[in-house]
Structure 1
């Protein structure tokens, strides 16, 4: 169906006009190709068409676009399409995740004409989801809810010591949990769509791909293509899970994109990887009573404080999670079909030639994530990416090397991959573009939490990085174990919770690293992060009155240094 859609009736020039190097020649619209002069005659507006074309499914559409030898299309793809004097939109945001939505809604506040393009390519297992991005659909939200489900199981065990009596057998129902979680996520998806509509932001469930200067092609799931122009673009496409590239990985393995909506209990599970995603998923699956094994290539939680990472590993091991260290899968085979079925995994040692085999109901891959940047036409408009990682380098204002294209979120090179960071960066970027603001996103001292069975909150430098940056002689590490009062009556996990701060001796013992292992670590870390932003020192911590009896109190009484070698274990709250 080769219909031509009408242009937006109120096409308008955004404040500031096109970037200087892209401005059309003086005297009006740019000179058009010979074949389009007739169409442009008799109108003062540029002849920029928005076309719709039915070609079938999305993958076929992308293939046809690349193979099509239409000369006019080739000119457009090669950047020869004339830049219009005005655009369909002031801003087009590519990606409907946390960062993209925050930027779009912020721009709408300043009465800008905004479009959001969002398209979820299904996983090899066929999983897909609605508007909201990774965090809402297959990340932070379902992860934290399933972590809570596991914590409730532990609370049930503890409750008997507090006098609760129940005689019926207590067991967990996977389907009840996933249905409840997905219902909540569905309400969030709908809420985001309503919010965009209320803010007069145009939303299309379509795959965005640059085809020329200031021009993007949007392809929906039916293969219908449309071209749109915008003065500026924000890329917020996020990342997707990485696969191993071995026989059977995409055919039989799941990723975190599949797990949270899995329509059956995964049963005996092998988690491949040592990322925070791997350990969080392994932790809550074990907490729900499943047999869980984690296969680790090298170290746990690369990029995090290794002292804390190893303590998490030990805790998980003591609480029923099996670890296979220094092995990687080389083949996954299906032994028996089913929901779940049975899979045979063959793995090879990273330290020798030893091979092992094991059978599992489910294999979950959590070996890292790759940016969704290689198939969105960045080469057509000259945006640089790191060829090895796919990450996009930007300046301190989130601007790429192409002046009218910006990027936020997990796709940025050398920036933190955290939802609140993407939201903050998106909002501040838009305020600079449209409201005359100057505040830039601060990527320093950003707090985060890993929701493993023993939660880990952190802000600032890891111990290893602090030693490397300031020198071991110039830092002081204060630390202590602690025992949450709630855990004393059930008599569990004494001296497993742990707190430490890293101080810069040469800067009045300013706190440059904050780390805590314990319940509600995120809640504890958030408040201290604000203090660290304000330049918190060890003396100020010591002069702060603690709240008794809570876990965070330990940070007001730290007195033992690692350097001293003194004992840090405790016997009570």
Structure 2
């Protein structure tokens, strides 16, 4: 093969095994053309696999486990580089350790605090309000114990499925070879017929004085030894708003610094409603602001300076914790993917791929490491499973990235599936879409007289018959549970006629979608007149 040099051989009984040291840059290069020997021919330091998965998160593990079920010999590499603060965690990836799972548990803790307040109105006799306190350390320990249990179960699953697990840092040496440096310094050389890159990403830090030295990210928040206290959250994406929301609900002063708009990429009317609700609960928002510096004071607190980009004024305040949620960067540079010839986006490090296949034929990628794909755990899992089916079972089923539902777990949750109103207007034109909307009153909010002004549902559809639904947006309690069922309906081509002819379950918040009939175009009042209106 042109451009390929074969050097160093290993004598293994009656065969020779070739380890590639240089290689062709061609995207048609296939490892199995050169190395296609069963694993028994390789030493423990030099092993060959049908599939090597780099990254032990949800997508990589799903792909590896599916591949094993189909008879493949699989290895999984996973290594967590310490955060600037020194935080590390176990097998399972971002979702399990520093993402979805601990976030949802702390969100639940916050909701329980609201439920305690509501309980008095429902007749529960409780201690005086000042006697009810939250203990951060108890919550932290409970969350970390749960995470560790998931880490352990994941390790056991890999062992039971006979997947080789390397708790080490992998780097490409060429398109067919990965060198793994274990935590104890021991090295392994792995070759494979196929590779899957599933390393996700890590939080970015702004390039300002003191950010790296004194700031934390979501990598650190869930394992903080001490209560976070007065916290500045820099960034207003879903991670920033979720963290600010549950910290406020747990009783800590929370401030969100917004550079441009909150929840960029989501429906902006809904984003405004979410922010209004958080403000009503006591979260402070600094709009159109960017941080300038973080300085540690003698008492251990942090002086943060920032500028308002509207009037160029500068401000500062003291905080106990500074949490950066300003985006994430894919961990591809650390893998030496350029040595393997894999193309990435220079700014984000994300991999450019079509149907999870990179420009190098036998190297694939799933999950958050992919360019312009939803950064969601269920997406990575589904894509990983389907990829394994295509590689090892000749399946033709591709991952469908359209109409993927998600929920932002702010104090009043925001669930959505489909496209935003802005995206619908841009794609179809304002005259070609219809927007149905309604405010509503959750029955459970009535007795404690909780604020209902931000409970809202919106359906975006085509204007012409049969008025195919393009997007659903829901702000209210249990939004994630509500939107999941409608996501299936969207996959089946839901229309407004079908939605409005569905009999709802009363009294639930999910039924609000089935009762929606007022359009923005009509100018009618979308506020309810009664619980059954």
TM-score by length of 2: 0.93
Aligned length: 516
Which residue, 188, 203, 210 being the options, matches 2:165?
A: 203
What is the DSSP-based 3-state SS (H/G/I as helix, E as strand, rest coil) of the residue aligned with 2:407?
strand
Q: 2:353 aligns with which of 394, 413, 434?
A: 394
Root-mean-square deviation over aligned CA pairs: 2.1
Q: Distance in 1 between matches of 2:517 and 2:229?
A: 46
Aligned residue in 2 for 1:255:
217
What is residue 541 of structure 1 aligned with on the other side? 499
**1:95 paired residue number:** 55
Find the aligned partners of 2:140 and 2:307 in 1 and give their Cα distance: 34
Q: Distance in 2 between matches of 1:326 and 1:42?
A: 69
Of stretches 379-388 and 468-477 in structure 1, the one that deviates more from structure 2 is: 379-388
Alpha-carbon distance, 1:379 to partner: 1.0
Match of 1:130 in 2: 90
Partner residue of 2:121 out of 161, 175, 182: 161
> Is structure 2 residue 289 aligned with structure 1 residue 327?
yes
Uncovered stretches (5+) of structure 1, i.e. residues with no partner? 1-20, 25-29, 50-72
Match of 2:43 in 1: none
Residue-by-residue CA offset, 1:37-90 (whole Å, 9 max, x unaligned): 6x64974231549xxxxxxxxxxxxxxxxxxxxxxx7x5899999943436100
Aligned to 2:45: none
Q: Which residue of 1 aligns with 2:527?
A: 569
Cα distance in 2 for residues equivalent to 1:371 and 1:421: 16
Instruction: Report whether the alignment pairs 1:45 with 2:23.
Output: no
Query: Which deviates further from its counterpart, 371-380 or 120-129?
Result: 371-380
Aligned residue in 2 for 1:293: 255
Render the CA deviation track for 1:99-144: whole Å, top value 9, x for unaligned.
0000010011012110000000010000000000000000000000
Aligned positions of 1:220-231 closer than 5 A: 220-231=182-193
d(CA) in 2 for partners of 1:209, 1:78: 17
Equivalent of 2:272 in 293, 310, 321: 310
Aligned equivalents of 1:132, 1:46: Cα separation in 2: 33
After TM superposition, give the deviation of residue 494 of structure 1 in Å: 2.3
Aligned residue number for residue 246 of structure 1: 208
Aligned to 2:482: 524
CA distance in 2, matches of 1:437, 1:200: 23
Counterparts of 1:268-279 in structure 2, within 5 Å, are 268-279=230-241
User: What's 1:451 paired with?
Assistant: 409
State whether residues 5 and 23 of structure 2, in contact with CA within 8 Å, keep that contact through their aligned partners in structure 1.
Answer: no
Q: 1:495, CA displacement in angstroms?
A: 2.5
Superposed counterparts of 1:454-473, under 5 Å: 454-473=412-431
- SS of the aligned residue for 2:15 comes to coil
Q: Which residue of 1 aligns with 2:451?
A: 493
d(CA) in 2 for partners of 1:506 and 1:487? 37
Q: Tell me, yes or no, if structure 1 residue 86 matches structure 2 residue 37.
A: yes
Over residues 338-376 of structure 1, what are the superposed CA-to-partner deviations in whole Å (9 max), with x where a residue is unaligned?
Answer: xxx300001112224311010000000001111111121
- 2:345 and 2:14 map into 1 onto residues whose CA distance is 43
The question of whether the paired residues in 1 share the 8 Å contact of 2:62 and 2:384 is answered with yes
Find the aligned partners of 1:291 and 1:571 in 2 and give their Cα distance. Answer: 36
Deviations 1:368-402 (A, max 9, x none): 11111112111111111111221111112x10000
Does the CA contact (< 8 Å) of 1:147 and 1:451 recur in 2?
yes
- Where structure 2 has 5 or more consecutive residues not aligned to the other structure, the ranges are 39-47
How big is each residue's C-alpha offset from its partner over 1:207-227, in whole Å with a ceiling of 9 and x where there is no partner?
111001310011122332221
Q: Distance between the aligned counterparts of 1:212 and 1:83, measured in 2?
A: 13
In structure 1, what is the Cα distance between the partners aligned to 2:326 and 2:480?
24
- Residue 508 (structure 2) aligned to one of 545, 550, 555: 550
DSSP 3-state at the match of 2:402: coil
Distance 2:411 2:257 in 1: 18
Change beyond 3 A, Cα 1:32–1:327: closer
2:242 to 273, 280, 287: 280
Paired with 1:305 and 1:78, the residues of 2 have a C-alpha distance of 43
Alpha carbons of structure 1 residues 507 and 380: separation in structure 2 relative to 1, 3 Å:
farther
Q: Give 3-state SS (helix, strand or coil) of 1:503's partner.
A: strand
Whether the 8 Å CA contact 1:77–1:211 is kept in 2: the answer is no
Structure 2 residue aligned with 1:560: 518
Q: 1:559 and 1:32, CA in 2 relative to 1: closer, same or farther beyond 3 A?
A: closer
Between stretches 214-223 and 316-325, larger displacement belongs to 214-223
